[in-house]
Amino acid sequence: MNKNLQEGLVLLVGNDSDIVAHMTRGKFIVFEGGEGSGKTHHVRFSQEYLENQDMGIITTHEPGGTQLGRTIRETILSTTHTPVPTAELFLFLADRAQHVETVIQPALQDNTTVLCDRFTGSTLAYQIGARGLANPEFIMQMEAYSRKQLEPDLVIYLDVDPKVGVGRKQIQPGHEMTNFDDFDLDFHTSVRNYFQKLASEQECWVQLDANRTMPEVQQDINSLLDTLFHGTSH
């Protein structure tokens, strides 16, 4: 059973010991979801919401949250190189290692909140769930190694029907075709299934229905953020 908004709120309120443990560092909040789930918009809206409360925030994304990462991102998404799935996995992990060590960890240590568009969940959902790479346990260990075992405080999973999500993405202004646009509905359904599995298994994940309008979804996200930062939703 996936955690919905209400269960997520209860869990965050009940997390006092974790809050104490993390008091000396900023919060690490990850947004996950399939194509067209609205992650990027919601990261921006959430940034504005928290900045209006005078919080120190940075937003970042994977792949491509560092200078090296931008080169890796171009390689991964390029329609000319087409890395094989194993090479693709290592590129995502290299991107993450650079990102965690040079951007995310320093910000958290500086007591800055980090909002990150995609992280561990994307590697598990795309490379294991959809690409079907062999030895998933081994991949999970390498993935944990790449992020120095860093765990998010909250993962907001925006669950969208792939038919809705892919449709939204295709009409997005300025959208350029990449390697990841060639996939059929089965691929996106496998990604979604794996994300849903993670949301049901992982304590810090909350699943929100992102088939709804942006304002409806953002209202739920604001409640989660209020609860994480203030222990109560307004």
Q: Enumerate binding residues for ligand TYD (CB under 6 A).
A: 35, 40, 62-63, 77, 92, 117-118, 122-123, 126-127, 180
Torsion region of 135: left, alpha or beta (phi above 0 gives left; psi -120 to 50 gives alpha): left
CB of 40 to ligand TYD, least distance (A): 6
Measured from the CB atom, is 62 or 159 closer to ligand TYD? 62
Residues in the chain, how many?
Answer: 234
- Residue keyed to tokens 């090296």: 68
CB of 192 to ligand TYD, least distance (A): 12
Helix, strand, coil fractions of the chain, as percent rounded to 5: 55, 10, 30
Measured from the CB atom, is 49 or 180 closer to ligand TYD? 180
Residue 154 sits at the vertex; the CA angle it makes with 66 and 15, to the nearest 5 degrees, is 140
For residue 16, give every residue at least 6 positions away whose Cβ sits within 8 Å of its Cβ, in sequence order, or none.
Answer: none
CB of 49 to ligand TYD, least distance (A): 20
Measured from the CB atom, is 126 or 157 closer to ligand TYD? 126
CB of 19 to ligand TYD, least distance (A): 27
Measured from the CB atom, is 40 or 105 closer to ligand TYD? 40
